[in-house]
Structure 1
Amino acid sequence: MKQITILILILSFFVKVQKVNNVTITYTIKQKTIDLTKIKEKAKTSATAQELIWLYEDANDVEATLKFTENESIYNVIKKLKNDAEKKVNLTYHYAGSKNTYYSDKKELIRTSSVTGEMLRIVERKNEWVLTKETKKIGQFKCYKAIRKNSKSSYNVIAWYAPELPFPFGPREFNGLPGIILELEFKNYIFFANKVDLNDLEFVPIEKPSEGEKITYEDWKKRTKNFFYD
C-alpha cells in the first residue's frame, strides 16, 4: 500500500509538471528604499552626488516578462510609450535589463547588447548558488532561498525559487536553480513575480537571438570596461 501511495504521488507530480508549458511570468521591478543621507551631505559640494540623488528619486517601477517552455526561456523588460518631454534616465529600467534580451536554454545563457554601438550576443557566466533551507510562500508556491555570492563585489544576489516549477530559469542572467525564480534581490532592486500564467494561450514561440557577433562575457567586459555591470 505504501508503494502504491508513493507511485500515485510521483505520477501526480509528473502530470502537474507536464501541464506546465508555454509559461509567462510577469515581474514588477522596484527600487528599494534607499537612505540618501550620506549622499545628500556630499551633494552640498559635489555635482556628481546631486545627479545621483536625482537618478534615485526619479526612478519608477517597471515590468518585465519571463517566457519559458520546458527547454528554453526568454526575458525582456516591457516597453512602454514615453512622452517626448520625459527624457529622464530611469535606473530601475536599466537594472531590470533595459532593452537587452536574455535567452537561456540547457546549454548557455545569451544576453544581447548594443551598448558599444553594435549588436552583440554575450555568453553569460554561470551562476554559482548557495542553497539554503529558508522558505517562504510567494503566491501559491513554496519558495526556497538561494544566494549567489560575488567575491569581487560587496553585494550578494538573493533569489527565491519554486521547486514546484522545476525549470532552471529566472529574470535577467540569473538562472541555474532547481526551480523558477519568483523573487530576486539584486543590488538596490527587487524583482517580484506578480503574475504566473502556467498555460499562456497567447504564447509566442521563443526565438533564439541570432543577430550580432557572439562573444564571451570576458571579451565583452574588456570592450566596455565593465560599465554598469559587475
Structure 2
Amino acid sequence: MKSILLKISILVFALLIPKTENLNNTPQDFQGVAYYFSKSTMDLGRWGARFSEAQKKQIMDRMKGRLEKTYILTFNKEESMFYEEEQLDAISGATDSWGKNFTAGKSYKNVKSNTQIQSQEFYGKRFLVKDKLQEITWEMGSETKQIGNYTCFKATAKVPSNELTWYSFSWDKLRTAENVEQSGEQQEVKMTEVEAWYTLQIPVGHGPSEYWGLPGLILEVSAGNTTMLCSKIIMNPEERTEIEAPNKGEEITKIAYQNTIAKKMQEFRDNRGRRRR
C-alpha cells in the first residue's frame, strides 16, 4: 500500500512541475528567428552649427533610412545568419546604392567552429570575407530587466571600434592612417563600450551584428551611437529557413577587405583631385 501511495505521489509531483523549453535537449534541427530594430543618432558637430533647428530636423528626416533599420537573425544551436531587411528610400523610392557599399552584408556565424563568413559587395565586385568571430571579453552583471516575455541579464565589454565596423569606411579613418604612416607613431586603438542584454530562456550564444558569446540570445545591444533591440522572436517556425554560409565572391580576410576599401577610396580621391587641376 505504501509503495502504491509513493508511486502516486511521485506521479502527481511530476505533473505539477512546469515544463520549460530546454534547447540543450531539443533536436539539432531546432530553429529560431529574431527580428531586430536599430536606431542610431547622428552628431552634426561643427558642421551642424550653421543650420537652424528646422533645418537639422529636415536633415535627420532625410537620413532616417540610414539611421533606422530592421534586421533578421535566423539561428539554431550552432549557426546563425544575420542580415538587414532591404528598404526603399523614402525620398527617392530606390535603395541606397552608395551606402550599400559600406554596410554589412549577409553574415553567417558558427559559434562551434569560431567562424564568420560574410558576403560583401563593393562597387560591383563581390567579396567573401572569411575570418574568426570577433573576440569579445564580456563582463557579466547581475542586473536584470524584462524585454517582452524574456528576463534578460546585463553584460558589458570594450571592443576596438574599427573591428565593430570593419566593413565600413570613413575619410577620417583614412586620414588618421595616413598621418600615422607619415609620423611613424603607433596608432591609438579607439575602444567602444558595449552594453548587451541576453536571456537564458534561449540558451544559445548568438546575437545581432558582430555580437555573440553570451550564455543566452542577445536581445538588446548598445554600442557607440547605435542601439539594436529585438522586437519579435519565433521559435521553431512552421517554414524553416536553411542556414547556409555564403559561398560566392573573392575570399578575403577582414583586414585585407579594409585595406582594399581604403586603397580604392584613396584612388577615387586622387583621381578627383587630378581632374580639378
State the TM-score, normalizing by the size of structure 1.
0.74
Distance 1:88 1:126 in 2: 32
Q: Runs ≥4 in structure 1, deviation > 3 angstroms?
A: 11-17, 34-39, 53-57, 81-84, 86-91
Which position in structure 2 is the counterpart of 1:201?
Answer: 238
Deviation digits for residues 9-48 of structure 1 (CA, Å, limit 9, x no counterpart):
8x8553786289211111111124x56575422x46xxxx
Give aligned-pair identity as a percent.
Answer: 24
State the TM-score, normalizing by the size of structure 2.
0.63
Given residue 14 of structure 1, which amino acid in structure 2 is its aligned partner?
N
Q: 1:153 to 1:17 in 2, by over 3 A?
A: farther
Which position in structure 1 is the counterpart of 2:87?
Answer: 80
Larger Cα-atom Rg = 2
Secondary structure, counterpart of 1:155 in structure 2: strand
Q: 1:214 to 1:90 in 2, by over 3 A?
A: closer
Which position in structure 1 is the counterpart of 2:221?
Answer: 184
Distance 1:121 1:147 in 2: 30
Deviation digits for residues 151-200 of structure 1 (CA, Å, limit 9, x no counterpart):
52253122111122111111112112111110111321211111010121
Task: Give the CA deviation at 1:207.
Answer: 1.3
Which position in structure 2 is the counterpart of 1:211?
Answer: 248
Q: Which moved more, 1:14-23 or 1:56-65?
A: 14-23
Deviation digits for residues 64-97 of structure 1 (CA, Å, limit 9, x no counterpart):
1000111211011112345783468599x87xx9
Which position in structure 1 is the counterpart of 2:150?
Answer: 141
Deviation digits for residues 113-169 of structure 1 (CA, Å, limit 9, x no counterpart):
112642222225323322222221111111112223035225312211112211111
Deviation digits for residues 189-215 of structure 1 (CA, Å, limit 9, x no counterpart):
211111010121122111111112332
Q: 1:225 to 1:156 in 2, by over 3 A?
A: farther
Q: Which runs of 5+ in 2 are unaligned?
A: 1-9, 161-188, 265-277
Distance 2:258 2:250 in 1: 14
What is the number of equivalent residue pairs in this alignment?
Answer: 212
Q: Which runs of 5+ in 1 are unaligned?
A: 45-49
**Greater helix percent: which structure?**
2
Secondary structure, counterpart of 1:62 in structure 2: strand
CA RMSD of aligned residues (A): 3.8
